[in-house]
Structure 1
Amino acid sequence: MDLLHALTTFTRIVETGSFSAVARESNIGHSAVTRLIGQLESHFGVRLFHRTTRRLSLTQDGQDLLGLARHMIEVADEITATMSRQQGKPTGLVRVAMPVGATRLLVPRLREFLEYHPGLSVEVLVSDRVENLIEARIDLALRVGAVNDASLVTRNIGTFGRVAVAAPSYLERHGAPATPADLINHSCILPDLGPESGHWTFDGPDGRVRVAVSGALIANSTEVIRHAALAGYGIALLTELQVVDDIRLRRLQRVLPEYPIERYQVSIVYPSRRHLALRTRAVIDFLVEQFRTIESRLAEERVLGEISAAWLV
């Protein structure tokens, strides 16, 4: 029995709460996972789980082993990271979670980075939801807005804006709003944010304005909202990062440009560890560099009075 592998499987069962989930993510059969845990129990002469048809819980011995197993896995990771640093080359797989809107700019830039690091692989996990990094085995994630999880290391990498946009076809049919209050007469494409979905906030000459908006389409994906805007469904609030290309190519037009929208922070977050693997650090450095370049160029475009993305093509 590979003890480290067995302990890793054991911790994943605890984190996911399921033998079946670990079997699926490992691409092995449920019976193989059960057999491995049986071998681990025999090795230590203890029972690790209370198992019923509805519930899986740790025995006291299982709870004692969990802390030791996590420590052993962390030490093994530190050994791997140390040896990689000595070789000076990042190797292995890095799992990165990011919002849908970020992929349009970052994924094309990954090619050159991965060519420079041939021993490195990056798995991009796309979701606008906030994932539990430890349970999902995610090495690092891009987060938009405030990060309130004290268990994560947070590195702020840029501040970006949102813009109100609509397709030319929609504006030809319905005209453009002159003030935020005019949005009451327009169809807006709403994010699925619960009660806040129906309100947008703008900064105007007389201060902050919060207006009620409505529309026939609600989506839990910013990329779906973007496609709906392109199709002429109505007015959408999207990030500069998402629509910079569409505005340059005149597929979308700015709406209410005199009324800025609250800016937001983009951060990299990752689980706290004393020694960060070289492969993870390399990806973090890549993301920091890319976002600094993007933020600097967008700032130049704002000074010029329009957003252009010729530099992205």
Structure 2
Amino acid sequence: MDLLKSIQVFEQVAKQQSFSRAAEALNLVPSAVSRQINELEKWLDVRLINRTTRSLSLTEDGKTYLLKLSDIREQVTQLRHPKNYQHEIKGLIKLTAPIMIGQYMLPSALAEFKSLHPDVDLSIALMNRKIELVEEGIDLAIRVGHLSDSTMVARNMGKMEFKTVASPAYLAKHGTPNTLKDLKNFNCLINTVVANAKRWSYTLDGKNTIVKVSGSLEVNDSQSLKAFALASQGIAQLPNFYVNQALESGELVEVLSEYAPSPLPINLLYPSQRLLSPTVKALVDYLVNHLSQYKSNW
């Protein structure tokens, strides 16, 4: 068995989630892909992939071995081409991020990175669901919130701060909340992108406090939520960078500022057991340094 070839085939199957697509990417016939996977499973004495007639997925062992085997292949590549490999910044990087981060921060940063490294191809998936990096072939992920996955390396890029806002017209008509308990008397605009969307976080007496809210309008997009707040439809809780300009112009007014919501960390993640290629490492270092300029506005 050609171990390195089998590892390469396994990586493609995991990435493509299909034997036939992996075969096409590797310029092989599907039977050859299947044979390589069977030989690798036999050699490791573990099942790597659950197969059905309609789909396939990595087993828990498969997820673990994908990281280990990818690391082995990466190290062998470096041994074969040590000088060229260390300085070569080229190839495809797959990156995922929440929609609000992607829309606000990433375009200018990634455009500049591309101008510095024109041989790098970027595939960017903006989505609000949490995805499995290994199973879906993602190199890097930007995530907002406290982390619980110990299999990932996290590089902190700052914290996202929030403000509670409403339009002057809405407050003139309905009054202004002065305490957290007052929120129950107001129409709160619900951002369904956020986990526990109807439970808003605040700081009270130095401690994190959760307030249950409700309202007649729910939306899964932060920009739309801001638009509804500007249209005097209710009170919204949004990241600073979405509302700072509207607050400066007077289109929105901050309320309950003395109970400022607890900020959430923003992290750049990659699998802990994966050896970063020079290309991916270059993007990680660049983003961590470049996006620090936004920290004062988060």
Q: TM-score w.r.t. structure 2 length?
A: 0.75
2:95 aligns with 96
Q: Give the superposition deviation at 1:50.
A: 7.8
Is the CA contact 1:90–1:120 (under 8 Å) kept in the aligned structure 2? yes
Residue 134 of structure 1, CA deviation: 0.7
Corresponding residue for residue 291 of structure 1? 291
Equivalent residue, structure 2, for 1:270: 270
Choose from 3, 8, 30 the match for 1:34: 30
Query: Residues of 2 paired with 1:281 and 1:101: CA distance?
Result: 24
Q: Is residue 151–residue 271 contact of structure 1 (8 Å, CA) maintained in 2?
A: yes
Shift of 1:229: 2.9
Residues 176, 130 of structure 1: CA spacing in aligned structure 2 closer, same or farther, 3 A cutoff?
A: same
Q: Which amino acid aligns with 2:92?
A: L
Aligned-residue CA RMSD (Å): 4.1
What is residue 174 of structure 1 aligned with on the other side? 174
User: 5+ unaligned residues in a row in structure 2: which ranges?
Assistant: none
- Contact 1:81/1:277 (8 A) holds in 2: no
Query: Which deviations, in whole Å up to 9, do the C-alpha atoms of 1:136-190 show, x marking residues without a partner?
Result: 2111111212211111111222123111122344334433322222211211122
Matched with 1:228 is 228
3-state SS in 1 of match to 2:143: strand
Q: 1:128 to 1:85 in 2, by over 3 A?
A: same
Percent identical among aligned pairs is 29
- Following superposition, the deviation at residue 109 of structure 1 comes to 3.1
Q: Give yes or no for contact 1:19–1:34 (8 Å, CA) kept in 2.
A: no
- Distance apart, 1:11 and its partner CA: 3.8
Q: 1:244 to 1:151 in 2, by over 3 A?
A: same
Q: Which amino acid aligns with 1:120?
A: V
Residue 148 (structure 1) aligns with: 148
Structure 1 stretch 139-148 or stretch 243-252: which is displaced more? 243-252
Provide the residue aligned with 1:199 in structure 2.
199
Deviations 1:70-113 (A, max 9, x none): 455434665699555543x5212222211122121232233223
Match of 1:160, as an amino acid? M
Equivalent position of 1:310 in the other structure: none
Structure 1's consecutive aligned runs of 4 or more residues displaced over 6 angstroms after TM superposition are 2-6, 41-44, 46-50, 65-68
Change (3 A) 1:233 1:95: farther
Task: Between 194-203 and 141-150, report the one with greater CA deviation.
Answer: 194-203
Q: Which amino acid aligns with 1:34?
A: P
* Mapped contact 1:95–1:140 kept (Cα < 8 A): yes
Contact 1:143 1:268 in 2 (8 A): yes
Describe how 1:256-267 pairs up with structure 2 within 5 A.
Answer: 256-267=256-267
Q: Name the stretch that deviates more: 132-141 or 265-274.
A: 265-274
**TM-score normalized by the length of structure 1:** 0.72
